[in-house]
Structure 1
C-alpha cells in the first residue's frame, strides 16, 4: 500500500455540483485546491451514474435560472450534447465529460477521483488539520493537509468525523412555526431513488422480471398514489425508498431494494398496465442505475440555522451569497412504502391546489452563515448538508441551488486564504468584498448589485447606436426563440390565456413617466358580450407575486365584444398621476377572472416582460413557462437603454437591466462607454443575455440562445483619436466572457460591436465591466478571440 502526503490551501470533499463549483471557484481565486470524489465521475446525483437532472429556481420563476459556474457547465452541455432531456434517467456521459473538462482545465485544481475520505484529524482548537483518503482499486492512501476544508459530501461525513454537530429528521411545527413542518417531530428523512432508461427497438420485445423483483398488480398504487409515468423513455423520481432504512448506513440495502422495485415497476408497465403496455411494446430496458440518488441525511449545525419562514418572507440577509427558488419539495416519508408519493404529485401536479400554491416560494437569498460549520473553525459546507431545517432543506436541496452554495464557499475559502482571515471573519468583516467577488464572477444575488470601486465602466457614460423601444407584442409577433418554444413540462400552467384565474402582465417603463394608453388583445368565448375588470399597479420586481400590491394606479372595466382576437384599448389619459409611475421599473396590468374571455398569448417573449396568474387567493405565480401576454403601450417605453449595462444587475429583476438594439435596424449594432479622461484598460468582461428565462430542462439539444451575440468585436478609442479593434470573436454562445489584453491600452472609449446573434434581431448586453488590473476570472469555456 503506497502512502503519500500532500498540502493544499483548500480541500473540497465531495464532487457533486456543490463540490465541483466550490473547487473551481477556490482554484480560480488563487488557492491551491484539491477536489476529492469517491466516484469515477463528477456531478454526484446529476452524473450518468445516477442521472437526476439539475433543477433550480427557473422551474417556477421567469428569469430565475442560476448563473456562475453551474451556468457555464449547463450552457456548454446543451450546446454540445445531442441528447434530448426527458425524465430523470436520460443523462449521458457528455455531461460527465463537461464537468471533468472544467475541472481538468482549471489551473491550481488537483482532482482525485475514486477517492474516499476515511478519517479526519483535528487540532486542539477543533480545527481540521488533515484528512486521510484511500484511492479505490489503486492500493494508495493520502494524507491531505490544508488551511480550509469544504464538506460537500451530502452526508456531512467530514464534519461528522471532525465532531461538528448535526441534525437528522424533521422538526415539529411548534419548533419554528413552519407551514410545512409536521405536528410532531420525526427521525425519518426523505428517501433515495434509482432511475432507468429505455430504448425503442422498433419491434415487439418481451420483458420478464426475475423472481426476486417486487410484484405490482394494483393500478391504484400508481394512479391514486401520484405515481403516474410522465414518459416511458426514462424515469422516475418517485421510485424512492427511505424509512425504515437509514439512508447512510443502509445505502447498499436501499440500492438492492430499489433495484427490485425498478424491475417490478417496469414489469407492471410493460405487461399489465392498461394505459401504458401497448405503448411499451417495442421498448426495452437500456440502463438501470445502481447508485441511489440521495435526497437527505445529515444537516450540519452551522453558524446560523435557516428555516422555511425566512424563505417564504424572502428575507434579505446581510450575508447573502446565493439564491434559491425551488418549491418546498418535501417527499412523503417512506416513498414506495407509503400510500402516496410526494404531496404535489399526489395532487396530480395541480399548481392551483392549496398545497401546490403554498409550497411555491422565492426567489430568495441564502446567507453565508448557514454554510459555515458551527463547531469546526476552518470548515465550510455546501449542498444538502447545510444548516437548515427539514422544511427549508426541501427547497434548497436541488442541485443548481447547491452549486451556487458551493461557489460561495469556494470563493469564501479562497478569500480567507488570500487575506489571512478565518472563515468566520469573512462573514463578520469581509462579506461585502465576498459579495462583490461573487457578482463579478457572474453570480446573481437578489439584494446586491455591482458596486465594485475598481470597475471603470461604472464611471463611464454609455451610448448606443440604437435601442429598442418597448411597444408590445401580439399573437402574430414573430418567434425568435430558436426552438425553445412554449415549454410545456411540469410545472407549467396554464397553457392558454383563458381567464379562468386572475391574470397579470408585467410591463417595463422607462424614465419618461408618460403612459397614455395600454391595449390588450382579447376575445370573448361565448355569443354574449363580456366585461372584465382591470387594474394597474406598481410592483417591486418581476417576482412580486402579491395580488394586492398597494393601491392601484388605475382601474377600469374593459368591454370584450368580439369572438376574434381584438385589441381592446384602456385610455388612461388623466386617470393616473404621472409622478406615481416608476422610472426604470415595472407596472402590472391585471384582469380579474372571467372564463368567457381569453387574453391571447403573444407569439414571442418580450424580454423582461412576462405574465402571471393567481394560483391561490392573494398570490400570483408565473404564467406558463415564462410567457408574454399580448399587449401594446403608448407611448413606446425606453426600457432597454444603454445605461442598463452599468446599473449593476445582470438579469431582469426590478427592471429589464439589458440594453437591446432596435430590432428593425440591421446588425451590426454597438454600445459605447466613454470617459472624460483616458483610462488604462487591461481587462473587459461582457455579460450577455440568454439562458435565464426557463429551466434547463426546457432547452433542446445543441441549443444556442438566440439572445446571445454570436460574432462581436471590442474596439477602443485611443488617445490618438483612432479606433482600434482589440478583440474579435466568432461563434460565441456563452453569456459571461472575459477578455484580457496582453498589454494594457489607454483609451477614452470602449465600443462593443455585435455583428451577429444566434437568432435575435436585436443585439443585447446585460453588463460591461472594465478594469485597469485583471480581477475577472476566466470562464471554463471562454470563446476564442483574435
Structure 2
C-alpha cells in the first residue's frame, strides 16, 4: 500500500458539518520513498534509522546512473502544491564539492526545477518549488543524475504554500506518524517465548536453536536478507572453528547455515542468502520478520515486555510481545533501550569496512572524475590485487560508532571512489584502461561498538591464562585479532585513516578453542535479556577473538537452548546458571538437529543428525567416549603455567595433547569421580618423543592419601598409555592426578588420564 495521507484539519470537518466550508485549509500528500512501488535501481538503506529517523532510497550506481524509482499516488484535490523532499548532500559535512549524489523529481509530466541532494550537511527538507496538480492519479519518478549515492527519504506536497514541514529525525515522529495515518496503537504479535532481534549468524543460531527446543520464536531483521556481515550485502566470509571443545555438538546448526564463501569479499552467489532464509523458514516455530527495524522497547520494571518495530517498506508499526529477548543487533540496541548496563571504549575501536571489487572488460572504459572523494594517488592505498578491496578498507577507529555511523560509511565510500579514480584517471590510468568498478558494499560491516555487561566480563587475561569457567561452552578459536590504522597509509588522513592492519595476539588455542562462559550471554541488570554476537559481555581485547561470525553463531545456539530452560522453569537467564546449569550442559551435548514440539515435549534425535565431531578438520585423535573407563581429557583439566598444544604425535586423545618445558612451574590437574566402589588402575595417556622427560612427576591424591610416581615419556610403548598405580576407591570418591614439570629432564607431556576398574580376582 502506498504511504500517502490527505490531511484535513478538524476545524474544516466541523465547518463542513455546520454547512459552512473554509476552503483555505491545506491538502497534503506524503510519500515515503521506500514505499515506491518500483525502486528501479535505487537501494533500500535501513542502517541509520536510529540516527536520521527513517529508511531511505539510495542511488548506489558506482558512478553509473541507476534506473528511476517510480510510483503512482492519488492527488487529494486540484490545486497548487509546494513540494518538499527530505534529503542530504552527503559530502557537505567535509566541506567538499560538488555534491555527488544528485537527483531530480518528476511529478506527472513536470520535472521539478531544483536538483536535490545538494543542500545540507545533515538530513533536512529541500524546497522543490510548486507544481499544478489535478485531483487524479499522478506518477512520481526519482531520477538519479550521477550514480554516486544520492538519497531520498520522503516527499511532501502541500497546498499551504507558506508551510515548512517540521524536523523528522526521530523514528516515526508524531508528524510523520500522522502523515502515514498510523493508528494510535500498533498491531501486536505474540507472545513469543523468545524474540530475537538481528538476523546475522548470532540471531539465526539463537532462533533455530530455541525453535528446535520447542520455543515459539520471532526473528526480527531490518534487511531483506539474513546473514548480517555474512550476507551478499556485506560479504565477510564466516570464520571461527565449530564443533569442537567441551561441547563438539555446538556449531552443527551453524554448519547447516554457513555459506560457501572462500574469500572476503566473495561473489553474490557464494553467500547463499536464499539458503539461509530457506532453512529458517523451514522451522515451524519461527515467525520470520524481514524488513522490520526494531526501535524501542516497553519495560515492566527490569523486564522487557515488548519490542516495537517499523516495517521498513510501508512504515507500519508492530509491537512484538515476548517472555525473553535476545539482542543480536551487534550494536546492543535492545540493551540500550532497556537501560542495560553497557560500555563502549572511547577510542581505538575496530572500525567499519565497506569492501569492493573491480574487473577488466574487453574494451577501454571511463570513470567520472570524483573531486568530492578522498584525494588519492596510487601510493595512498594498497593495490587491490585479485580485483578486491578487502577487509582492511576500514575506518571509524576513533569516531562514534553509533551516532556517526552514516558518516563512517560515507567516508569509506569516499575512500573507495577516490582509489578507483586514482586507478582510472590519475597515476594508475595507463594500467587500468579496461577496469570497471563492479561492486561496493553500501551496507557497512561494523566490528565493534557497544558491549552489554553480563555477570562475567571476559578479558584477555582470562583467555590467555585459560581460566576455566564452570559454564565455559562456546569455543573461540580465532586469535585475539585487533585492528589498528596502518601507519604508512594513515599519515595523509590522520583524523580518520581508512586502511587497517590486523595484529594477532597469542594465547588462543586455535584447534580446541577457548570456552567462552554462558554468563557473557545475558544482561547483568535486565532480567529477561540475552545477547549473542559482538555485543556480548567482553572487553575490547577479548572481542578480538569472539567476534567472528561462526563463533557468534554458536553463542546464539547456546542462548536458544538456555531460553528453552527459561520457558520450562519460568526463570531468568541468570537462574539457568544458578539452578539449571547441568540441564543446559546436557542440552549442549545434543545434535543440532535434535528437536521437540514444545519446551516440555520429548526430544527427538533425527536419523540424519551429524555424527559426533571429535576432530573435525584436524588430525584424527581418539574419541574419549570410545575409551573404556572414566576418562578426563586435557580439555577437562585445570592448567597453570604455559602449556603448548600439539597434534603431531599419533594416538592422542581428543583434539590435541599438551607439553611444557622442564622446571617451568607448569602443572595440569585431572579430576575423576568413580560411581562404583572397587579397585581401579590409573592410566596416564602419553606419546613418546626424543625430547620428552624420562622422569615426569605424577601425583595421585584421593581422600587423605597421596603418592608420587614418575614416568618415562621418552620411551616407546605399544599402548598409548602407561599405568602408574592401582588403588581402592569408594563410590563417589574423587581422585586427582597432577602432572608437573619439577625436576623433569625434558618436555613434560599431558594428554588424558583414565580410571580403569580391574578384575578383583587378580588380587585374591
- TM-score scaled to structure 1, two decimals? 0.52
Task: Answer yes or no: is the 8 Å Cα contact 2:481–2:504 preserved in 1.
Answer: no
Number of positions where the alignment pairs a residue of Structure 1 with one of Structure 2: 458
Deviation at 1:407, TM superposition (A): 1.1
In structure 1, what is the equivalent of residue 354 of structure 2? Answer: 194
1:291-329 superposed Cα distances (whole Å, 9 cap, x missing partner): 111111100111111101111223332112311111111
Deviation at 1:161, TM superposition (A): 0.6
**Kindly tell me: are residues 456 and 408 of structure 1, through their superposed partners in 2, closer, same or farther at Cα, counting changes over 3 Å?**
closer
Task: Name which of 313, 321, 328 aligns with 1:137.
Answer: 313
Task: Measure, in 2, the Cα distance between the counterparts of 1:139 and 1:308.
Answer: 43
Q: Does 1:576 align with 2:715?
A: yes
In structure 1, what is the equivalent of residue 10 of structure 2? Answer: none
Q: Does 1:236 align with 2:413?
A: no
Q: Does 1:507 align with 2:649?
A: yes
Deviation at 1:96, TM superposition (A): 1.1
Structure 2 SS opposite 1:296? coil
Task: Measure, in 2, the Cα distance between the counterparts of 1:546 and 1:385.
Answer: 35
In structure 1, what is the equivalent of residue 377 of structure 2? Answer: 217
Task: Measure, in 1, the Cα distance between the counterparts of 2:335 and 2:418.
Answer: 38
Task: Measure, in 2, the Cα distance between the counterparts of 1:360 and 1:192.
Answer: 24
Deviation at 1:393, TM superposition (A): 0.5
**Kindly tell me: are residues 336 and 117 of structure 1, through their superposed partners in 2, closer, same or farther at Cα, counting changes over 3 Å?**
farther
Task: Answer yes or no: is the 8 Å Cα contact 1:242–1:333 preserved in 2.
Answer: no
Structure 2 SS opposite 1:395? helix
Task: Measure, in 1, the Cα distance between the counterparts of 2:717 and 2:603.
Answer: 35
**Kindly tell me: are residues 507 and 213 of structure 1, through their superposed partners in 2, closer, same or farther at Cα, counting changes over 3 Å?**
same
In structure 1, what is the equivalent of residue 213 of structure 2? Answer: 29
Task: Answer yes or no: is the 8 Å Cα contact 2:248–2:589 preserved in 1.
Answer: no
Task: Measure, in 2, the Cα distance between the counterparts of 1:375 and 1:403.
Answer: 24
Task: Measure, in 2, the Cα distance between the counterparts of 1:324 and 1:95.
Answer: 24
**Kindly tell me: are residues 552 and 322 of structure 1, through their superposed partners in 2, closer, same or farther at Cα, counting changes over 3 Å?**
closer
**Kindly tell me: are residues 68 and 545 of structure 1, through their superposed partners in 2, closer, same or farther at Cα, counting changes over 3 Å?**
farther
Task: Answer yes or no: is the 8 Å Cα contact 1:66–1:443 preserved in 2.
Answer: no
Structure 2 SS opposite 1:332? strand
Task: Name which of 340, 343, 347 aligns with 1:167.
Answer: 343
Deviation at 1:199, TM superposition (A): 3.4
Task: Answer yes or no: is the 8 Å Cα contact 1:328–1:395 preserved in 2.
Answer: yes
Task: Measure, in 1, the Cα distance between the counterparts of 2:458 and 2:351.
Answer: 22
Task: Measure, in 2, the Cα distance between the counterparts of 1:37 and 1:119.
Answer: 14
Task: Answer yes or no: is the 8 Å Cα contact 1:66–1:401 preserved in 2.
Answer: no
Task: Measure, in 1, the Cα distance between the counterparts of 2:473 and 2:366.
Answer: 52
Task: Name which of 409, 422, 427 aligns with 1:255.
Answer: 409
**Kindly tell me: are residues 193 and 66 of structure 1, through their superposed partners in 2, closer, same or farther at Cα, counting changes over 3 Å?**
farther
In structure 2, what is the equivalent of residue 296 of structure 1? Answer: 448
Task: Measure, in 2, the Cα distance between the counterparts of 1:356 and 1:202.
Answer: 41
Task: Measure, in 2, the Cα distance between the counterparts of 1:66 and 1:454.
Answer: 17
In structure 2, what is the equivalent of residue 371 of structure 1? Answer: 521
**Kindly tell me: are residues 147 and 231 of structure 1, through their superposed partners in 2, closer, same or farther at Cα, counting changes over 3 Å?**
same
Q: Which runs of 5+ in 1 are unaligned?
A: 79-83, 170-185, 350-354, 445-451, 458-468, 472-501, 510-537, 558-572, 585-617, 620-652, 656-786
Task: Answer yes or no: is the 8 Å Cα contact 1:189–1:333 preserved in 2.
Answer: no
**Aligned counterparts, 1:705-716, within 5 A:** none
In structure 2, what is the equivalent of residue 38 of structure 1? Answer: 222
Task: Answer yes or no: is the 8 Å Cα contact 2:243–2:250 preserved in 1.
Answer: no
Deviation at 1:235, TM superposition (A): 2.7
Structure 1 SS opposite 2:418? helix
Structure 1 SS opposite 2:588? helix
Structure 1 SS opposite 2:272? helix
Deviation at 1:123, TM superposition (A): 1.0
In structure 2, what is the equivalent of residue 401 of structure 1? Answer: 551
Task: Measure, in 1, the Cα distance between the counterparts of 2:328 and 2:213.
Answer: 19
**Kindly tell me: are residues 118 and 104 of structure 1, through their superposed partners in 2, closer, same or farther at Cα, counting changes over 3 Å?**
same
Task: Answer yes or no: is the 8 Å Cα contact 1:164–1:375 preserved in 2.
Answer: yes
**Kindly tell me: are residues 99 and 346 of structure 1, through their superposed partners in 2, closer, same or farther at Cα, counting changes over 3 Å?**
closer
Deviation at 1:441, TM superposition (A): 2.8
Structure 1 SS opposite 2:263? coil
Q: Does 1:285 align with 2:437?
A: yes
Q: Does 1:420 align with 2:570?
A: yes
Deviation at 1:200, TM superposition (A): 3.6
Task: Measure, in 1, the Cα distance between the counterparts of 2:213 and 2:563.
Answer: 9
Task: Measure, in 2, the Cα distance between the counterparts of 1:247 and 1:72.
Answer: 32
**Aligned counterparts, 1:54-65, within 5 A:** 54-57=238-241
**Kindly tell me: are residues 454 and 150 of structure 1, through their superposed partners in 2, closer, same or farther at Cα, counting changes over 3 Å?**
closer
Task: Measure, in 2, the Cα distance between the counterparts of 1:455 and 1:289.
Answer: 41
Task: Answer yes or no: is the 8 Å Cα contact 1:87–1:235 preserved in 2.
Answer: no
Deviation at 1:241, TM superposition (A): 1.3
Deviation at 1:366, TM superposition (A): 0.9
In structure 2, what is the equivalent of residue 5 of structure 1? Answer: 188
**Kindly tell me: are residues 329 and 31 of structure 1, through their superposed partners in 2, closer, same or farther at Cα, counting changes over 3 Å?**
same
Comparing 96-105 with 311-320, which one deviates more in the overlay?
311-320
Task: Measure, in 1, the Cα distance between the counterparts of 2:363 and 2:229.
Answer: 33
**Kindly tell me: are residues 384 and 129 of structure 1, through their superposed partners in 2, closer, same or farther at Cα, counting changes over 3 Å?**
same
Deviation at 1:100, TM superposition (A): 0.7
Deviation at 1:258, TM superposition (A): 1.1
Task: Measure, in 1, the Cα distance between the counterparts of 2:378 and 2:392.
Answer: 17
Q: Which runs of 5+ in 2 are unaligned?
A: 1-181, 595-601, 608-618, 622-643, 668-685, 693-711, 724-745, 753-764
Structure of higher CA gyration radius: 2
Structure 2 SS opposite 1:12? strand
Deviation at 1:266, TM superposition (A): 2.5
Task: Name which of 646, 650, 656 aligns with 1:542.
Answer: 656
Comparing 545-554 with 101-110, which one deviates more in the overlay?
545-554
Task: Measure, in 2, the Cα distance between the counterparts of 1:575 and 1:35.
Answer: 56
In structure 2, what is the equivalent of residue 207 of structure 1? Answer: 367
**Aligned counterparts, 1:742-761, within 5 A:** none
Structure 2 SS opposite 1:133? strand
Deviation at 1:438, TM superposition (A): 2.1
Task: Name which of 349, 354, 358 aligns with 2:506.
Answer: 358
Structure 2 SS opposite 1:430? helix
**Kindly tell me: are residues 188 and 441 of structure 1, through their superposed partners in 2, closer, same or farther at Cα, counting changes over 3 Å?**
same
Q: Does 1:85 align with 2:268?
A: no
Deviation at 1:35, TM superposition (A): 0.7
1:661-705 superposed Cα distances (whole Å, 9 cap, x missing partner): xxxxxxxxxxxxxxxxxxxxxxxxxxxxxxxxxxxxxxxxxxxxx
Task: Measure, in 1, the Cα distance between the counterparts of 2:283 and 2:485.
Answer: 40
Task: Name which of 318, 327, 334 aligns with 2:470.
Answer: 318
**Kindly tell me: are residues 577 and 306 of structure 1, through their superposed partners in 2, closer, same or farther at Cα, counting changes over 3 Å?**
same
Task: Answer yes or no: is the 8 Å Cα contact 1:329–1:395 preserved in 2.
Answer: yes
Task: Answer yes or no: is the 8 Å Cα contact 1:57–1:64 preserved in 2.
Answer: no
Task: Measure, in 1, the Cα distance between the counterparts of 2:242 and 2:606.
Answer: 32
Task: Answer yes or no: is the 8 Å Cα contact 1:89–1:236 preserved in 2.
Answer: no
In structure 1, what is the equivalent of residue 292 of structure 2? Answer: 115
Task: Measure, in 2, the Cα distance between the counterparts of 1:8 and 1:197.
Answer: 42
Task: Measure, in 1, the Cα distance between the counterparts of 2:465 and 2:457.
Answer: 15
Task: Measure, in 2, the Cα distance between the counterparts of 1:405 and 1:392.
Answer: 15
Root-mean-square deviation (CA), in Å? 4.4
**Aligned counterparts, 1:700-779, within 5 A:** none
Task: Measure, in 2, the Cα distance between the counterparts of 1:377 and 1:336.
Answer: 47
Task: Name which of 52, 60, 70 aligns with 2:236.
Answer: 52
Q: Does 1:153 align with 2:329?
A: yes
Deviation at 1:239, TM superposition (A): 1.3
Task: Name which of 555, 559, 562 aligns with 2:690.
Answer: 555
Task: Name which of 302, 306, 312 aligns with 2:458.
Answer: 306
Deviation at 1:138, TM superposition (A): 1.6
Structure 2 SS opposite 1:142? strand
